[in-house]
Amino acid sequence: MKALTYQQAHELADFNLRLHEVPLPILRDTDLLIRVQAFAVNPGDTVIRRFRSAAPGQAVTLGWEFAGIVEQVGPLATGFQPGDEVYGAGDLSRDGNYADYVAVDYRVVARKPARLSFSEAASLPMSFQTAWGALLRNDKQLPAGVETVLVLGGAGGIGSIAIQLLKAHTSATVIATASRPESKRWVAAMGADLVLDHSQDLAAQFSQHGIEKVDMVLATRSSASHLAAMPHLLKAYGHLALLDVHQSLDVSSLTPYSFSVHLESVFSRVVTHQHPEQQGFILRELTKLVEAGKVRPTLQKTLTGLTSENIRAAHALLEQGDMIGKIVLDLGSAR
C-alpha cells in the first residue's frame, strides 16, 4: 500500500512528507483493516509533525480520523464484516491513516451515516468524540446545574460540533465566539444562540447582552489568553474544559473560584485501555443525530488524492490558525 511518511520532526518550511510503498498493517486480534476512502487533517497532525520523530529504521504516518470500507476482520472483532462502511478516530500510539489502509480496534469505530459521503463522514468523528468527552463526559449529560455554555473558538472543527451537540442533545443556552464576519456567520449557522467576538473584551460583551456569567466554558483554542478573564466569565464552582493545554498553562490563579478544570483528549480511552468501547458508542450516538438531521458535517475544504502536495497545502492552511470547519482528503474518487 501507499502511505505518506517522514522520519524526522520538521517545520512546514522543511515539509518532508513523501509517498512511499509500505507493508499493509499487521492486524491485532481485535482489529479491522480499513481501506481509507477519506480522512480529515487536524491541527494536532501539524503539532505531531513538528515534534515527533521516527525510531531508527521506521517512519511516522500521521492522521487519526477517517472514513472507509472494512476489508478484513480480526478473529476477536465483532459486529463488522468486509464491505461495511465505517468511520472513526484511531489510536495515537499506532500508525495513522495518511495511507491507503489503516488498522484500528473495532471498538473505536462505527458504521458511517448512510446519508453522508465518505468525505463528509470523515469530518466528524474526532471533533464529536472530543466535544462529547469535554462536555458530557461519561454521564451522557451536562454536569448538574449547567444551563449556559460558552464555546471559545466556535468556528473550528471541534467548536462547530460542540455547538451542534449542545443544541441537539441538551437544553443549554450556547454562547460561542468568532472574530471574523465569515466565521461569525458560520458559528450562527451551527446554532449558537449568541455569537461574541473573542478578539474583544468578552466580559464587556457579556454586560452588553445582560449576561452575568456562564455555568461552563469549553476552550477549544488560545486557552492561555483567556485565563485572566475566566473569573469574569465563569461562575464560581463552574466547569472549565480545556482542549489546548500547553506546558506554560498555569491555572493556579483560578483556585479561589473552585472551578472544576477538565482536560480532554480524544485518545485517552484507547491509550489508557479504559473502556475504548465508549468511543464506538459515542460514534453510534453521532450517527443517530446525523440521520435525524440534528448534526451536520463541518467539511469546508476537500482535497483529492493522497499526495505530498495536498497534505502540505492542508497543513499550511491549519497553521495559519483561521480555518473554519474541517479539511478532508478524498482518496476514493482519486483511485
Residue ranges per domain, the chain?
2-124+268-334, 128-263
For residues 319 and 293, is the Cβ–Cβ distance under 8 A?
no
pLDDT recorded at residue 335: 61
d(C-alpha 216, C-alpha 61), whole Å:
36
d(C-alpha 162, C-alpha 127), whole Å:
8
Portion of the chain with pLDDT greater than 70, in percent: 98
**Tens of pLDDT along 172-209?**
999 999 999 999 999 999 999 999 999 999 999 999 99
Class at the top of the CATH hierarchy for domain 128-263 = alpha beta
Q: What one-character DSSP code corresponds to residue 188?
A: H
**Tens of pLDDT along 28-50?**
999 999 999 999 999 999 999 99
**Tens of pLDDT along 286-296?**
999 999 999 99
pLDDT recorded at residue 334: 59
Confidence of residue 245 (pLDDT cuts 50, 70, 90): low
For residues 162 and 218, is the Cβ–Cβ distance under 8 A?
yes
pLDDT recorded at residue 140: 86
CA 236 from centroid of its chain's CA atoms: 28
Architecture of domain 2-124+268-334: Alpha-Beta Complex (3.90)
Q: Tell me which residue of 160, 169, 98 sits closest to 299, measured CA to CA.
A: 160
Tell if the pTM clears 0.85, that is, is over it: yes
Confidence of residue 332 (pLDDT cuts 50, 70, 90): confident
pLDDT recorded at residue 110: 98
pLDDT recorded at residue 226: 83
> What average pLDDT does this structure show over 5-26?
97
For residues 66 and 85, is the Cβ–Cβ distance under 8 A?
no
3-state percent breakdown (helix, strand, coil) of the chain, nearest 5 = 35, 25, 40
